């Protein structure tokens, strides 16, 4: 029974990693931009939620709802005024600029909030659980996983069923021809990053409620997110969920064997997938 529990916990943890990764996957899928500051933006959003919770005495969920539009605007401005300038045939500038942004964000958060670990106050929900007979599942992990599925499904609907989604795909295929259709690629990219920041806010909410955070944990979140995206196959959102679940499963199984192996097991799983399926589990047909 302990193994069933481990597997379920692993899958649910994968939901959190999928939330970390969904925004990264969206942005990469549309503009081939790997945002190395993605993890730090999650941490920044967590601090924004914390600030609203402590200053206004709101519940974390309400605070996240207020933080989301703020993050949306930050994402839009960031892409429009900084990251768009780095896009081009050379893949190095976006990496360098987002790496610099990552360091700047970490230091700004350190300056503003100190290196102390923080946590979002959760009340009863953090210990609430559902008794399923054979095993007991925490409400918060279940909520995280449900949110991840909802986010991935929502992004897929947006991508494949809306006019904006069509423009996302067209611009991703061929920005010059897209501009002949009256689409301004820079604005499309800004909207994509803005939407990614909405997902980042949700990821920050669950990160902050489930564990401690401090200004330096961003890069590790980026690595989990990046691994989930690569395992799933670049540009596939459901693949990203699968990638998150694989990392989550590997980590909990590793931890069940030996607590020291948790993080290592996740990285090993990533390397194994990379060896066997270098393009990920669900690569796009054309690339």
* Burial degree of 141 (CB within 10 A; 0-12, 13-18, 19+): buried
Residues 37 and 20: their CA atoms lie apart, in Å, by: 12
Is 177 one of the binding residues for other proteins (CB under 8 A)?
yes
Is 179 one of the binding residues for other proteins (CB under 8 A)?
yes
Residues 146 and 148: their CA atoms lie apart, in Å, by: 5
Q: Which is nearer to other proteins, 158 or 223 (CB)?
A: 158
Residues 252 and 12: their CA atoms lie apart, in Å, by: 10
Is 176 one of the binding residues for other proteins (CB under 8 A)?
yes
Q: Which is nearer to other proteins, 153 or 174 (CB)?
A: 174
Distances (CA, A) of 154 to 139, 142, 149, 172, 242: 22, 18, 8, 19, 16
Q: Which is nearer to other proteins, 14 or 186 (CB)?
A: 186
Residues 250 and 259: their CA atoms lie apart, in Å, by: 12
Footprint of other proteins on residues 256-285 (CB under 8 A)? 284
Is 3 one of the binding residues for other proteins (CB under 8 A)?
no
- Cα-Cα-Cα-Cα dihedral sign, residues 168, 172, 175, 178: negative
Helices (H), the chain: 2-31, 38-56, 60-81, 92-113, 139-161, 163-173, 175-180, 185-210, 218-232, 237-257, 262-276
Q: Which is nearer to other proteins, 172 or 227 (CB)?
A: 172
Q: Which is nearer to other proteins, 144 or 172 (CB)?
A: 172
Instruction: Return phi, psi of residue 137, to 5°.
Output: -120, 135
Among 2, 124, 182, 278, interactor with other proteins by CB under 8 A: 182
CA-CA-CA-CA torsion for 222, 228, 229, 230, nearest 10 degrees?
Answer: 110
Among 80, 119, 169, 267, interactor with other proteins by CB under 8 A: 169
**Least distance in angstroms from the C-beta of 72 to other proteins:** 19
* Listed ranges 109-117, 179-187, 218-226, 268-276: which one lies at the site for other proteins (CB under 8 A): 179-187
Q: What is the DSSP string of 189-252?
A: HHHHHHHHHHHHHHHHHHHHHHS-B-TT-HHHHHHHHHHHHHHH-TT-HHHHHHHHHHHHHHHH
Is 140 one of the binding residues for other proteins (CB under 8 A)?
no
**Least distance in angstroms from the C-beta of 285 to other proteins:** 9
Is 90 one of the binding residues for other proteins (CB under 8 A)?
no
* Listed ranges 119-127, 160-168, 202-210, 265-273: which one lies at the site for other proteins (CB under 8 A): 160-168
Is 166 one of the binding residues for other proteins (CB under 8 A)?
yes
Q: Which is nearer to other proteins, 53 or 188 (CB)?
A: 188
**Least distance in angstroms from the C-beta of 187 to other proteins:** 9
Q: Which is nearer to other proteins, 154 or 165 (CB)?
A: 165
Among 62, 135, 139, 183, interactor with other proteins by CB under 8 A: 183
Length of the chain: 287
Q: Which chain residues interact with other proteins by CB under 8 A?
A: 163, 166-167, 169-170, 172-174, 176-184, 284, 286
């Amino acid at each position: 029974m302990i193994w069933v529990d481990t597997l379920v916990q692993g899958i649910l943890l994968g939901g959190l990693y999928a939330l970390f990764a969904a925004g990264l996957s969206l942005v990469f899928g549309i503009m081939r931009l790997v945002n190395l500051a993605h993890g730090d933006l999650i941490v920044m959003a967590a601090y924004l939620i914390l600030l609203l919770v402590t200053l206004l005495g709101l519940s974390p969920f309400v605070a996240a709802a207020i933080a989301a539009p703020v993050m949306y605007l930050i994402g839009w401005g960031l892409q429009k005024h900084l990251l768009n300038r780095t896009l081009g045939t050379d893949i190095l500038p976006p990496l360098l600029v987002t790496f610099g942004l990552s360091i700047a964000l970490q230091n700004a958060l350190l300056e503003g909030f100190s290196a102390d670990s923080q946590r979002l106050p959760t009340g009863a929900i953090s210990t609430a659980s559902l008794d399923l007979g054979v095993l007991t599942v925490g409400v918060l992990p279940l909520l995280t996983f449900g949110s991840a599925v909802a986010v991935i499904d929502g992004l897929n609907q947006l991508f494949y069923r809306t006019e904006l989604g069509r423009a996302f795909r067209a611009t991703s295929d061929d920005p010059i021809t897209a501009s002949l259709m009256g689409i301004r690629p820079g604005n499309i990219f800004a909207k994509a990053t803005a939407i990614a920041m909405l997902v980042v806010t949700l990821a920050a909410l669950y990160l902050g409620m489930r564990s401690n955070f401090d200004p330096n944990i961003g890069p590790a979140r980026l690595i989990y997110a990046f691994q989930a995206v690569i395992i799933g196959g670049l540009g596939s959102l459901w693949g990203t969920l699968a990638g998150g679940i694989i990392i989550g499963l590997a980590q909990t199984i590793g931890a069940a064997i030996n607590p020291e192996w948790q993080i290592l097991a996740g990285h090993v799983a990533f390397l194994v997938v990379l060896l066997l399926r270098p393009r990920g589990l669900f690569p796009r047909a054309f690339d």
